Amino acid sequence: MKAQRTRSQEKVLEVLQTLKKAISAQELYIQLRHSDHNMGLATVYRSLEALKLQGEIKVRILPNGESVYSTINRDRHYLTCVNCDRSIPIKQCPVHELEKQLEQSHQFKVYYHTLEFFGLCDQCQEH
């Protein structure tokens, strides 16, 4: 059974669903302010945390330590350069079968997964 969402959580989710990319809590706060939603930054963080725990959104921590949030529409996979922090999305997913096995063997409901490889991009390798 899904938890009942607050009005703040609904507004946060609504904005995230309109975006094509992940966004930080601060950027989300600014988006909400521009769309005339009076919500404090602490409320944005609380709403994001609650939505994450409900499996409605996901958080990804960038190499610089910043957290970015997005809706869960599909699993994401990345090649991330440790030098320039560029993240390149990849479409292949080698872990879907593993995910199903883990759900069964551990009675664990997987909401989403992120697979990230770290190294040097082609541009940084040239330098």
Structural domains in the chain?
A: 1-73 (1.10.10.10), 74-127 (3.30.1490.190)
Question: pTM value?
Answer: 0.65
**What is the mean pLDDT of the segment spanning 70-74?**
78
By the 8 A CB rule, do 12 and 51 touch? Answer: yes
Q: What is the DSSP pairing of strand 76-81 with strand 114-119? A: parallel
Residue 1 has pLDDT above 60, yes or no: no
**What is the mean pLDDT of the segment spanning 71-92?**
84
pLDDT at residue number 73:
66
pLDDT: which is higher, 89 or 8: 8
